[in-house]
Amino acid sequence: MDNRGVKALRRVDLARATGCNLETIRYYERVGIMPDPPRTANGYRSYDDAHVKRLKFVIRSRDLGFSLEEIRGLLGLVDDQSQTCGEVQTVAKAHLEDVKAKIADLVRIERVLSETVARCTGDDAPECAVIDALLDP
């Protein structure tokens, strides 16, 4: 691989370029989401623009709530250069259904908590509608 003209980055530079925590980068390397970077002659890790691009992909995927396994699957398709829009859509649709289910759960939780808090007097009395609801659902 010819690295001439490619600026080598240290891990701290990769962190700055992506806004990702150093420990998170180490973790992604340990679990195989980020590939091991090549090393310089003196043993330092040497990252490049491809690492920046990949890490930004991972960060954006995490921001959208994809699990590490889902990201690993998407990256596998990208790495193999075998991805089809249909395969990616399948992963994204499944994730979207999970997100919709979580939203439905959160809406239900919000409704129950709102109703319970509305019944709570908030005064100095020992009786509390919130505690009652938690003790006897």
Residues 104 and 56 in one domain: no
pLDDT at 44: 87
Q: Is residue 137 part of a domain?
A: yes
- Under the banding of pLDDT at 50, 70 and 90, the label for residue 137 is low
116 vs 125: which has the higher pLDDT: 116
Q: What CATH number did the domain enclosing 16 receive? A: 1.10.1660.10
Q: How far apart are the first and last CA of the chain?
A: 63
Q: CA 115, CA 113: separation in Å to the nearest integer? A: 5
User: What is the three-state SS of 59-78?
Assistant: HHHHHCCCCHHHHHHHHHHH
pLDDT of residue 46: 93
Tell me: do 49 and 101 sit in the same domain. no
Do 58 and 26 reside in the same domain of the chain? yes
Within this chain, do residues 23 and 57 fall inside the same structural domain, yes or no? yes
Domain shared by 89 and 54, yes or no: no
Domain count, the chain: 2
Domain, as residue range, for 1: 1-64
State what percent of residues in the chain have pLDDT above 90.
Answer: 61
In a domain, 20, yes or no: yes
pTM value is 0.77
- Whose tokens are 């960060």? That residue is 59
- Taking 50 as the threshold, does the pLDDT of residue 1 lie above it? no
119 band by pLDDT with thresholds 50, 70 and 90: confident
18 and 58 belong to one structural domain: yes
Residue 3 has pLDDT above 50, yes or no: no
Same-domain check for residues 102 and 131: yes
